[in-house]
Amino acid sequence: MADLVSMRADAAELRQKIDSILSIDGELTAEQVAELEGADKAFRKLQEQVHKAEAVESARESLATPSFQFRGNRGAGDKFATMDTRQQFLENLRMEMRRPGSAQEYRAQTFGTSAANGTAWDLLPVDLQNEMVRLLGNVSAVRQAATVRSYPNDVEIPVVSARASITAFTDEAIAYDNYDPSFSKLRIRSFKSAAQTLITEEVLSDSRGGIVDEILQQHAEAHAYFWETQFLGAGASQNTSAPDGILATEANIANSGVFPDDAGGVAIKDVTAAGAAISTVTYQNLLDVAFGMPAKYWGLPKSWILSPALYQHILSLTDDSGTVGRPLFLGRATGTIQDTFSLGTLFGYPVYVSDAMTDATPASSYQAVLLEKSSYVVADRNTLKSQIDPFTYGSLGETAYRTMLRCDGRWMRPSSSARLIMAAS
């Protein structure tokens, strides 16, 4: 649509054209009648466009006007129209001091400093700014360290439970030894997390700072962190009510009967720290975790997931028990984690920190996981879904914003990962 100024100029030209035709003396010719009819239609159409453009411009101007500004005909108070809010307040205050009762509005206010009396600040009108100070959501460390896939429905994945192996020579003219591999299946299910927020029509129409976008973003972040706590939980492997817990006991992982004893007779290698306190974790403990899995898995891509307390502790650890050793943890040279969310490296592997691993009593708790990327899968059922429902609570003047995520997390090959568990005492 053309701008308002040009449309008004075009309307003025059409009006002049219509006036010139109507001022002709005598009867109009057929061509003049046709020209008058066309000009009249064009003028009416242009008038409608001008009216619409004026309404849009007026609405935008109203939105840009602070909620406390006086509107309408001011009369003698028109001089205040050019003042900003604080200037107008000071002018009203001076006028009230000179001639009490003459100001447009007067509020009795005690200028004390106690909570009961309030302060002079209460007299200053404020406006809600079009910005938002956010509380950042937790980043999902598991999704950074594990394999993430998307499935349209529940699936089963074949897995090798036991490898065929040759243990001895076969002599001449002797029958071949029979070595049979063993297979099983992993079941990928889906569990649902759901959230709803009711927003009143007043908030929808009057709010600033992208309040609705903020609520929906918080939904997404809340889903991500909820699933982070489930992935880093203690749910038994291949259970039907929750994802596999990365921090489940070795027995709960082995009892599924799916995974082989591939890590020295256990389903996953657990390294016990030197003591029950975080401060007792040593260089050797972390080295044992880094190379605790069978050597055939050492070259696979892995990532550390640490508790906040252990991360702070490793910042002071060196590769020597004295004070002259080289630091174990190497921070990122860029000074920011916004690209990969990795804080640095430990033994060459990226380090992620998760609040879901926080434990107020670290004794007997897992404080570190070196997760091989293909050893654990996060299975999304498509993507996060959202729904806007203005009808269910419409009689209350509320709109429901709902989000839902279906997901699962399963061990694929736990023997290629390793964990650090604190001593019991």
Predicted confidence (pLDDT) at residue 251 exceeds the cutoff of 80: yes
- Residue 244 confidence class, pLDDT cut points 50, 70, 90: very high
Specify the CATH class of 141-167+180-421 in words: alpha beta
Amino acid, single-letter form, for residue 327: P
Asked if residue 136 has pLDDT above 90, the reply is no
Contact 231, 243 (CB under 8 A): yes
Q: How confident is the model at residue 23 (pLDDT cuts 50, 70, 90)?
A: confident
Three-state DSSP at 368 gives strand
Instruction: With a cut of 70, say whether residue 134 has pLDDT above it.
Output: no
> Taking 50 as the threshold, does the pLDDT of residue 356 lie above it?
yes
Cβ neighbours for 347, distance < 8 A, ≥ 6 positions apart? 286, 287, 290, 328
Contact call for residues 143 and 341 (beta carbons, < 8 A)? no
Q: Mean pLDDT lowest for which of 14-28, 299-313, 354-368, 378-392? A: 14-28
Lowest-confidence pick of 259-273, 281-295, 401-415: 259-273
Give the pLDDT mean for 38-61. 85
Does the pLDDT at position 374 exceed 90? yes
Q: Return d(Cα 31, Cα 29) in angstroms, integer.
A: 5
Q: What are all long-range contacts of 241-250, with beta carbons under 8 Å and residues at least 24 apart?
A: 241/191, 242/191, 243/191, 243/407, 243/408, 243/409, 243/410, 244/376, 244/409, 244/410, 244/411, 246/142, 246/305, 246/369, 246/371, 246/376, 246/409, 246/411, 247/357, 247/366, 247/369, 247/419
pLDDT single digits (tens) 213-237? 888 888 888 998 999 999 999 998 8
| Mean pLDDT score of the chain | 81
Q: What is the dihedral of CA 310, 366, 237, 341, to 10 degrees?
A: 0
Please state, for a pLDDT cut of 90, what percent of the chain lies above it. Answer: 36
pLDDT tens sequence across 51-84 = 888 888 888 777 665 554 444 444 444 554 555 6
Q: Per-domain residue ranges for the chain?
A: 83-123, 141-167+180-421
341 neighbors 352 (Cβ within 8 angstroms): yes
Q: What are phi and psi of 335, to 5 degrees?
A: 75, 10
- What is the predicted pLDDT for the residue at 226? 93
Give the dihedral of Cα atoms 319, 325, 330, 335; nearest 10 deg.
160
Question: Going along 64-209, which residue ranges are E strands?
Answer: 147-150, 155-162, 182-188, 191-200
